[in-house]
Amino acid sequence: MTPAELARKVGVDPKTVARWLANEARLPHPRHRFAVCEILEVDEAMIWPLAVRAAVKTGPDREIHRVYPTHGLVPKEVWQHVISGATRELTLFGYAPYWLAREVRDLEGILRRSAAAGVRIRVITGDPDNPIVAADEASTGLPLTLTSRIQQTRRMLEPLRDLIEVRQSVFGYGRSVYRGDDEALVDWWVHGTTGDDFPVLHLRRQQDGGMFDQVLLHAEKLWQDATPVWPEAEDRTEH
């Protein structure tokens, strides 16, 4: 990748990237460092070791790769990387993740190709008939209702019903898990808003029994208690 290409992807002037390259002690703004690392798919320690030494994480903290105060601050490249990079397991557990089609380029194609390559793909949506959905709509008064968002998610997944497993649950309300192999993006809801305002953690598995494994435990138990949206399709997927 040329410096000019990197500058365009990060959203800075090419001269800024030239200054980074000319002076290894020069530390860009954190958000620019994070963006560069995601785009180049390398660890920050490789490019800016001085910044890493100033904030070394140990123990369970090292599994928290990034913290984003809102969904809107998560670069599209991060969603693309987590979802398209899965080679074993891809789990998309959110009440109404219809917005993934906006964040991930060629989402349907990625899911089709991943399923053909043997990746197990599981999706959980909310149950539109759950009383908590009606309660949410009554209390928040959002124009785009939670019911309509769940329905949009299912319409998005309908063409893939013979390739992926889709279930619904009343228990996933308020917290979502989007996992690709040993990475995950997890969020929790801010009442009265849509997903753009939810805070997000980017986790990378580094140890047994750490934060990543705890989130995975939640996801697996949620899956066990969920019910198939299209039972006949799930039977074909499993066989």
Q: What is the mean pLDDT of residues 12-16?
A: 92
pLDDT at 55: 58
Inter-residue contact 79 to 92 (CB < 8 Å): no
The pLDDT assigned to 90 comes to 96
Q: What is the pLDDT of residues 223-236, one digit of tens each?
A: 999 999 887 766 65
Count of Cβ atoms closer than 10 Å to residue 164 Cβ = 21
* Residue-range domains of the chain with CATH: 1-56 (1.10.260), 60-238 (3.30.870.10)
For 183-232, write each residue's pLDDT tens digit.
Answer: 999 998 887 776 678 899 999 998 888 999 999 999 999 999 999 988 77
Q: Are 122 and 92 in contact (CB under 8 A)?
A: yes
Q: How confident is the model at residue 57 (pLDDT cuts 50, 70, 90)?
A: low
* Residue 239 pLDDT > 70: no
Full-model pTM: 0.74
